[in-house]
Structure 1
Amino acid sequence: MDLRQMILSSILLFGFVLSSNYDDLSYNKDASQSHTAAGTEHGAQNAVDRNTTTCMRTKPIGSTSPDKTAWWKVDLGGVYNIYSVNILFKNYDGYEKRQQGRFAGFSIYISNSKDWTESSLCYKSGHQLPPLNSTTTLMKSGRYVIFYNERLDGVTYPEDYVSGTVFTELCDVIVHGCNTTGMYGSNCDMPCPVNCKVNACHIQNGNCFECDPGWQGTYCDKECDYGWFGQDCKQRCIGFCNNNVNCNHLSGRCDNGCANGWKGPLCNIEQNLSYKKKSTQSSTAIGPHDLYKADNAVDRNRATCTRTNQIGLNSPVERVWWKVDLGEVYNVNSIDIFFKNYNGYEMRQQSRFAGFSLFISKTGNMENSSVCYIDGPILPPLNLTIFCNAYGRYVIFYNERLIEVSYPVEYDVSFALTELCEVNVYGCNIAGVYGNECNIPCPNTCKEKTCNVRNGRCLSCKPGWYGSYCLRECESGWYGESCKNLCSINCKNTTCNPMTGHCPIGCVSGWTGPFCSRECVRSYGENCKLPCSPHCSQQKCHRFNGTCLTNCTDGFYGEKCDIADPTDERTWVIVGPISLTVNMVFIIGTSICIWGVFTKNISISLNKQPCVKSRPYTETEVTTETATYYQELAVPADREAYSNTTLR
């Protein structure tokens, strides 16, 4: 035996001696495998029965098999600190190298979950063939130990690997470790540090694999650094804690409360949605630079105030407004307004403040906004909190002194200045939530997922839903936002899609279209699927029953002009050919008669004339016969009985 083999044997022996001091965690524990070879003696449990003559066996994997992967798994029953895994692979006399080639390339995973794909790889066999009795030192913790091997198509494996037909045959799998959770040491008699995650640590030295949230260090005995908290101390404190103290290193909460203007469990929800947001106003009074600018009302400094030009009888201006853009659409809960006060002039300021209105808008226009508050008729306090459950991006302060309006006698109608020192808008700075901590989602069926910031009731429902929390579907025959719209009476069964109002099962006779709102044209019946008869004049028919509204075309009759006239057919089929034949016979016969008379007259004329040259003019004697078969024709008196004919 050479020196290298001696060293390797010594290491294996030392590892075996160490592992023998630990508990057998896998004996008779529940085992499973990816698939099982044919037969009843190859079950997964054979690998943990401590009988090396019984072995589990999977179906073959490799290039000659449809299966390409195989796994075997044992459930230790709890999370334990593991020292090593010993695997005894099946051997056959004379086939040791073949078995090593099948065993080669295997991996060992450890997991706390049944899904081994969520596990961590602890060991993978290399290019060299492994011994059939293999011990792997892991120093891990976990509940499930998984053996895995594969022979994938398209992968080139080392030459000694068997890649054609690979059976997985495990005769014994021994997991050594401490069978008491949270213990380590050679005798498993020392507890893991208290802040080790899942009470798991290195089985020999007690180092934590992971720390509980809020702790760091080798033994998880150090709190997170200032400004950090949570798992592995990787989460930054995001809140504004009172007196600028650090957040809780475990939870990130502010143990001593939130700084002014912030709320929520992490003190990261700004109570004042309007703070330092962009503000504008209808006009700005003349004064030193920026003294009366609109942004003074959102700077959290009550000593700086806005001021507009005056409105009232002594001014050409009748209306004034101030507006803040919150930056996004939020659920607004309440608004605090601090109007400018002067010592000894409180009532005057109240009279200038009186009659104002508040609007919440998504667009910035009062015309498309929700009225949040209208003051009057008694004078308001100069510091006022208004509860307003609305949803919007813009908060608008508005006041007016119209000439044609009579105001309460306490109102200042001549010289009303608007001076806002602070406008604080409170609500949730996260869209779609409500509650004191702004951590409860609005119902999904609320329109735009907006709800009352205090109780979660929907401000409006999505199409197809109704009720305070929009949890009830539209009843049959209704649809749209908050189910306020009636389905068309032309929908079949008067039912429609509760969201769109479309008629899902079609239209009654005479109607068509998604809402069954279009009358049939040149068609009739349900959904106008039946065309009017082409034999209706202009193809016009009754849209309900198909009856022609005009006359039928020639050759057809009936209510729908769909019955052909049989008499009309015989006239053309029989009389037509007969008439044609008679006419042809008449024409031919007449032609023959004319031709016969013509030829006969010619022959008679030729027989009476002598064969001498005639003169240009020939006199013909008229003879009278005693009997004639011809009718006498009367010759007019002014004409001779015969005329001379000149031959040319």
Structure 2
Amino acid sequence: MTFNKVVFSICGTLSWFSVVVPYENLAFGKATWQMHPFSSLWGADKAVDGQYTDLSAGGGQCVISRGQSTAKWGVDLRGVLSIHHIFIQYRTDNFFWNGSNPYTGRFLGYSIHISNTSYKEDGVLCFRDTNYTRATIPNPVNITCPYHGRYVIYYNNRTQNPYPDEYSHDAHNELCELEVHGCPTPGFYGENCSSPCPQNCQAGHCHITEGTCLGCHPGYIGTYCNEECTNNTYGQDCLHACGSCTQLEQCDVLNGSCSNGCDAGFMGDKCITVCSDSYYGPNCLESCSKNCVYSRRCDRTTGGCYGGCQAGWKTPKCLEQCDNGTFGQYCKQACGKCLRGEQCDHVNGTCLNGCDAGYQGLECAEACSDGHYGFNCLNECSKHCLSAGKCSSKTGECHGGCQTGWKKPTCEAKCEGGTFGQDCTEVCGNCLGGESCHHINGSCLNGCESGYERIYCTKECSNGKFGHDCKETCGKCLRGEQCHHINGTCMNGCDPGHYGTFCTKDCPRGLFGNNCLDSCSVHCKVPKECDKVTGHCFNGCQTGWGDLTCNTKVEFRYISDTNDKMSSAFYGILVPFILSILYILWCAIRLIRNTDWNRKRKQRKQDTTCFPEITHGDGEFCNKEKEIAEYQELGEVSKSTDYENLTLKKFEMF
């Protein structure tokens, strides 16, 4: 049943005006109960049946209880619902309601409670009459009660005497109707209950008209519960303080847990429990060091050991050994010269793997004694030092360098790699088999490679010698040049009359000249018989051939003109005579210039030669080109000499 005419009462006072508000009667037909029922005819359910037209006992529409010191009636709404107001129609017996009505005294002093249990003490007081009189108490009445609850309880009593004179002697339940108006669905408010309550309202309950939360979920505050807890608070109304969350982070606004763990010195979900003995750090996960002076006793926040560290450990936590070349109490002592700069024992300073070069002793703090050097001073200075036994204690390098034939810096090794002498700066010669020479004087102990002279094997064979120990003799190389010092080959060829790689072979019969490439003339007196050097024919030439090599053909013809009456017989006698004279002259010149022959012989082509011919014109001789015989043997044309072409001057015939 919907009741639209409402009178609002705030904080126990009533204001009389009308407004239309469409809220539903939540109590209609719901379960009810009462104390001290008079009869089933007037049971507790009569107040929620929607009937109150007859307000007398005879109408059977009202609740009636026996008069007692207390009267109590209640209705179960079957859920915690949002209530707007409560309407009450009290019994009048159908008489006019005023100070004369006998039921006004029974109504005085009543109260209305809303609770989530059937005990009014567990709920809130919605209204209590303390001021009305018989003349002023309203009936019917609408009581504004913007709360949430499951049970609506009507209560009256006469237990606290004395009461005002107008109060009845006993308390009664005489309700003809009690309606609870509100929203039938939890979590909504406003007209038609169509607006949802803010998300974080406690249990989804908000003011039925304003929408303000009637309480917030834990972790939220504000009129609409839209503000999370801040400043390290949490819980209901943000009244609880967070624990020591890591980096002072805000804890969970609902339950106070620290999602990222605890700050140093605390543990537990809420980080409110301090670390137990021997533990420290965030969430108390770190163990105090056993290297503390007082083993495993340290500051729960920093882990710093109480009393400091045992020898060999670094403050404050005593978890790290001494390093960076230190050891001992508080790591204040410096290590010695340990091998390769290694860290010494963090407690006593001993060098576990020995000493670096130049030092000795357990702690490697003692320098090497004279004459010793190297790691742990185990090496002796070389006796080949220039100052014997004097060297660097670290590297073994000899002071002043090495004796002749020994290598720097330690002078322990002889010169090698083809070197010898002071500081191994001199280069060995060509020793036999590539052997190294003597490290001091550079001599080749087993002789030289072919082509070099003893004893240092640095000088190539000369003076016409070659080969092993320069004992072999060169052949007839061109112009007497030195042959190759190793294999004896003549690199620029052979002297005339010789051939072969080594120029040790004479030209065979019929050949002559450089490398025997020229052929003796077939026109020699004895064909193909000539000097192997010059190519001159032995015993002269055959008839009709001239020059020393018999390669020039000679022809004579008698020529006359109209003025010349001489006979050709004259020339037949004269020409041989002239040739004989020329040959004698030539032999004389050859003897003088024989030493220059080899340098002046060059390859030339046969020049054109004019021989005397007799003309029949003007009585003058003219030159006519004569044929030069050409012969080729061993792949090369014969060379002509300066005297192979003869030219006869003009003669005036008498």
Greater fraction helix: 1
TM range (shorter): 0.3 to 0.5
TM-score, length-scaled by structure 2? 0.41
Greater fraction strand: 1
Instruction: Point out which structure has higher relative CO (alpha carbons under 8 A, 6+ apart).
Output: 1
